[in-house]
Structure 1
Amino acid sequence: MTPAEAGRSADLLVIGGGIHGCSTAFHAAQRGLKVIVIEKDSVARHASGVNAGGVRRLGRALPEIPISERSMQIWYGIADLLDDDCGFQVAPQIKVCETEEELDRMRARAASVRAMGFGHEVILDQAELRSYLPAVAPHAVGALASLRDGFAQPYRTTFAFQRKAQSLGVRFHEGLAAQRVSREGRDWIVDTAEGRFRAPVLLNAAGAWGGEIAAQLGERAPVEAIAPMMIVTARLPHFCDAVVGAAGRPLSFKQMPNGTVVIGGGIRGNADPRTNLSEILFPALQRTAETAADLFPIMRGATIVRSWSGVEGRMPDDIPVIGPSARHEGLFHEFGFSAHGFQMGPGTGAIMAELIATGQTDAPLAPFSIARFASQDASTTH
């Protein structure tokens, strides 16, 4: 093996430099693995850098809750882990109910979470809601809340994982696309413009492009490219210490320490994964802003100073693909987080590193198997 070839070989190849790829690379290096990360653009270029930064357990799909809870414990110690607090702040996540029907649905939701053995989701009556959100509109009747969730800075967090991984010897190759993935003996081969990279283990953490990598290896993962949109207002007087959503309408917003308000919540633009571009749809953003103003009258007349969007991968069932390949030894997947993967990044990285290094994990990954899409195909042909 030539020196150049030696520099392109490792124990683990990671395709994708978002928070999940960087977190897994870091945790794998902690376990003594030699790791190379290949990123076609730059670290945190897509979903990991353009999301709202919510560190949220609230309202997650039930199968995600155990992983989200494990990740939350890492978030609480993120400053010590990464030598950077990542802008993380503990703050209530509150989903406001505007009708009694919505509040009844949230009560049922909280009961389902308690039945799983988790107690982080609680119901706030109208008075309790106002104690957390004094500026909320009078018609709000209550809320579902997770009081020790929070928020962080997405770019800063992903870069912190990258820096810490690099300090442990992880090599990052940015601006380098994985052109072809194949198997050669016991090794996985990734062909790039800089030559061939090889390792016995390959992790597909390619986000909206994860389905293309999986398809090269005969595994179906129907990823849809979406473009979550965000807006930021000019500074407002302090009125909110929580991350706020709505039970009946798309919304997520928070007031930053400098007084600006970041607003998102599921309204999407247009995404084109072939060109890396996303398009902001301003009429849709206006509806999001109107929802914020309905719930918080202080927002009426707020000036929007900037907006952005980015390319994210969404799965048909809105939960990610996490775990081993259903067909190939030494192949793992970690993508398709459907616009809510930021909080899970530290936890999924730790879980995947554990699985890759030891061959086992106690994390309940069965609901996230890529095999669920193959079984769907089979069921439609009968």
Structure 2
Amino acid sequence: MIETEVIVLGGGIVGASAALMLARKGKRVVLVERDFCGSHSSGVNYGGVRRQGRPLHQLPLSQRAHQLWADLPALIGIDGEYVRSGHLKLARSQADLEALHRYADSVRGFGLGLQLLDYAQLRARFAWVGDVVVGASLCPEDGHANPRLVSPAFARAAKQSGAQVFEQAEVTWIEHDSRLFQVHCANGLRLQAPWLLNCAGAWAGTVAAQFGESVPITSAHPAMLVTEPLPVVMNVSTGVEGGGIYARQVARGNCILGGGRGFALGPRQARPGQAAVLEILRNAGELYPFLKGAQAIRTWSGTEGYLPDHEPVIGPSSTTPGLLHGFGFAGAGFQLGPAVGEALAEIVCNGASRQPIEAFSICRFQA
């Protein structure tokens, strides 16, 4: 039995960030991960580090995350291939362009510095964009990073700061006696603490349900691919208003693209379907003509947790003192992760988060 102050379930970017922030605040913390830290949605996502397009009530957290990402090497010891390239959101119709204008008006007080581009302005600055695009919105300081490097690095940094990190430790049972949580793992590990952080990603609903907080969380599987190295053309990360594909090009020339859905192979594995990959490539040829004929050299998927309103659950349990939740990011938690981890650590240490998180309460799903 290991007695500690905080147990964190889940070694994705949210759980690892929380463990890192708690360790830096001098708390005794244990992080347990069923597989390997950063091996699920935190490590297989597109790598977008964007604020543009987020709902207004996510922006305070997103802005705080933007500050934390600004000095990533000081936080986790590596740069994680993080670049503030800018994020360009494309409009394929006048209605989509009008939606981008309305969004820019609504977030004017948040300091995103959005630049709205019409057809001519877009061609003058980004000549590689296809003619099907009628305009765009640019957020100059948004960017992208390599999730396969960044997410595991948060767990390593937590360990270097004093947290105990156990991988391949599947939780089999959790008990609570009104004062302490006891966590039992399949490998014989037993933990005890007054605080339990549920950051178990797409599987966090099972933990919440144990404490009388059933939530309608579902799993979805992103379809992702990377191309062969190409001449470097795309100098910003891109998305599409109204949904569709997203794309970025790294310094080596490979283009990383995503869109559509894959399918589950089992409880922990997923793959993109052939139809989804072909649809990504078809859309890419229209939106980014320089990609026509490019070869996809690898495809992959993962498992992400979605709630009906596409908003996460962040904050205290409605039933159990000492239980905190941080899950359900609907494929958009990579940028938010460090700020969510910090918010959870602040609740443990100070009783409240400095950022407003009331909109993300699990209470919204309770009858």
Range of TM-score over shorter length: over 0.9
2:278: which partner in 1?
A: 286
CA positional deviation for 1:355? 1.3
- Which of 157, 161, 168 aligns to 1:168? It is 161
Cα distance per residue 1:144-184 (max 9 Å; x no partner): 22110111111211222112111121111111111111212
1:184 alignment partner AA = D
2:235: which partner in 1?
A: 241
2:263: which partner in 1?
A: 270
Q: Aligned partners of 1:139 and 1:196: how far apart in 2?
A: 57
- Which of 113, 116, 140 aligns to 2:107? It is 113
Is 1:357 paired with 2:349?
yes
Q: Aligned partners of 1:60 and 1:271: how far apart in 2?
A: 27
1:286 alignment partner AA = L
1:125 alignment partner AA = D
Structure 1 gaps of 5+ residues are none
Is 1:136 paired with 2:124?
no
Q: Is the 8 A contact 2:178 2:321 kept in 1?
A: no
2:174: which partner in 1?
A: 181
2:337 alignment partner AA = G
Q: Aligned partners of 1:63 and 1:21: how far apart in 2?
A: 21
Please give the TM-score of this superposition, normalised by the length of structure 2: 0.96
Q: Is the 8 A contact 1:15 1:39 kept in 2?
A: yes
Q: Aligned partners of 1:345 and 1:138: how far apart in 2?
A: 35
Number of aligned pairs? 366
Cα distance per residue 1:103-125 (max 9 Å; x no partner): 111101111112x5444333122
Partner SS, residue 148 of structure 1: coil
Q: Aligned partners of 1:235 and 1:201: how far apart in 2?
A: 47
Q: Aligned partners of 1:298 and 1:95: how far apart in 2?
A: 18
Please give the TM-score of this superposition, normalised by the length of structure 1: 0.93
1:259: which partner in 2?
A: 253
Cα distance per residue 1:230-257 (max 9 Å; x no partner): 1111122221101111224411101111
Identical amino acids, percent of aligned pairs = 37
Is 1:86 paired with 2:93?
no
Once the two structures are superposed, the pairs formed by residues 1-382 of structure 1 within 5 Å of their partners are 5=1, 8-114=2-108, 116-193=109-186, 194-265=188-259, 267-271=260-264, 275-374=267-366, 378=367
Q: Is the 8 A contact 1:132 1:242 kept in 2?
A: no
Q: Cα 1:69–1:131, aligned 2, differ >3 Å: closer, same or farther?
A: farther
Q: Aligned partners of 2:271 and 2:299: how far apart in 1?
A: 11
Residue range with higher mean Cα deviation, 299-308 or 154-163:
154-163
CA positional deviation for 1:185? 4.5
Structure 2 gaps of 5+ residues are none
Q: Aligned partners of 1:174 and 1:83: how far apart in 2?
A: 20
Q: Aligned partners of 2:264 and 2:351: how far apart in 1?
A: 36
Partner SS, residue 84 of structure 2: strand
Q: Is the 8 A contact 1:41 1:175 kept in 2?
A: yes
1:304 alignment partner AA = A
The alignment's C-alpha RMSD in Å is: 1.4
Partner SS, residue 16 of structure 2: helix
Partner SS, residue 91 of structure 1: coil
Partner SS, residue 107 of structure 2: helix
